[in-house]
A and B are shown apart, each in its own frame.
Chain A
């Protein structure tokens, strides 16, 4: 099943703002909501963004996201060492009738 496209890694120093892109198609991101997940090594993924831009109540507002056309973007402001993790986007694909994920982006805090 076709996946979404993310950059392999993004790096920045503490305090900076980073963005992670997620590119899809009209059958997924273009027509369905996007969610974002944070995964630390050895741990299960955790939902950090749902319905394109909404945050669960326990996720700090340093995390934000948007969607435009067939692409989505996750932004992390005021980057902290504890933000070092793998980040995945996900969306339903209504042609495949399947959930599709991005390949994952490793965030490195320098």
Chain B
């Protein structure tokens, strides 16, 4: 059974950085790509970027280029999202999901990031 378990709530000050983790289990980690999607309060879904695990290649949405880094640790089957220079507008629920250009078939439970 595939599971994506994310790290917990983060409260950050403007200008700081945050790291969110997503530990995966079930399935062969290197067979897949993973993405990060965020949802601001009362808003829709926004793709931040994704990583193709076996290539160790990450790509990002235009808005997040240079501010977001997605990495993966094959030894622990964990995907990471690092975001710097946080602003109040980055307050959101951050989801990891399995998939990138294809469908997102499994999702994490979400990690709340509050910038205040």
Nearest CB in chain A to that of B100: its residue: A99
- Mask of B40-58 contacts with A, CB within 8 angstroms, 1/0: 0000111100100000000
18 interchain pairs (CB within 8 A)? A1-B62, A1-B63, A37-B104, A45-B45, A47-B103, A50-B105, A51-B103, A56-B105, A90-B103, A92-B102, A96-B61, A98-B59, A98-B61, A100-B47, A101-B44, A102-B44, A103-B44, A104-B45
Number of interface residues of A (CB under 8 A): 25
Q: A1-B62, A44-B107, A46-B107 are in contact. Are A101 and B101 (CB under 8 A)?
A: no
Q: Give the A-binding residues of B (Cβ under 8 A).
A: 35, 37, 44-47, 50, 59, 61-63, 95, 97, 100-105, 107-110
Minimum Cβ distance to chain A for residue B26 (Å)? 15
CA distance A50 to B44 in the complex (A): 19
Known: A47-B103, A90-B45. 12 other contacts (CB 8 A): A1-B63, A35-B103, A35-B104, A45-B107, A47-B104, A50-B102, A56-B105, A88-B45, A92-B102, A99-B35, A100-B47, A103-B44
